[in-house]
Amino acid sequence: MILPDVLAEGLRVVFCGTAAGDASAKRGAYYAGPGNRFWSILQETGLTPCKLEPEEFGELLTHHIGLTDLAKKVSGSDSAIGARHFDVPGFEKKIKLAHPRVVAFNGKRAAQIYFGKPVTYGYQIRLIGKSAVFVLPSTSGAARGYWQELERFLRFKK
């Protein structure tokens, strides 16, 4: 396993990516690439009260936020990760056990791998177990609007 899951029962949201990137694997921390805005976006959208550093990823549990990936045993860019590396049944089992309020895919590729078909950004009609599903753009500058939509959903759908 490249990075451990950050999961517990009953979280507000679990973010799911495809796999740890090379920088994240090297640092042993989620979303640790120099251009990744994940940690800033969490603060900017109010999901965390302050900006955490990648190495503080375990602190997300105190904010009722979890992390996982579809491919846990490899790292690299999305284009370098092959279909055989994704463990969709294992991911689904983990989510059904933890039953977070929302599963938020960080990027369309992770969601498309899970659903097995193209997806659109935003709220999805299909559930994973009892968890609502959001598809967010990767944590680039374009992501902010969908991340704010997720924050409003979490705030008002209690």
Dump pLDDT digits (tens) for 62-76.
999 999 999 999 898
pLDDT given for residue 140 in this prediction: 47
Segments in 29-87 forming alpha helices (H): 38-44
Q: From its phi and psi, is residue 77 left (phi > 0), alpha (psi between -120 and 50) or beta?
A: beta
Confidence of residue 35 (pLDDT cuts 50, 70, 90): confident
pLDDT score of 87 more than 60: yes
DSSP labels for 7-24? --TT-SEEEEEEEE-HHH
pLDDT: which is higher, 28 or 81: 28
Q: Angle formed by the axes of helices 108-115 and 88-98, to 10°?
A: 100
Q: What is the pTM of this model?
A: 0.91
- Which CATH number does 13-156 carry? 3.40.470.10
Query: What tokens appear for 38 in the block?
Result: 């994940």
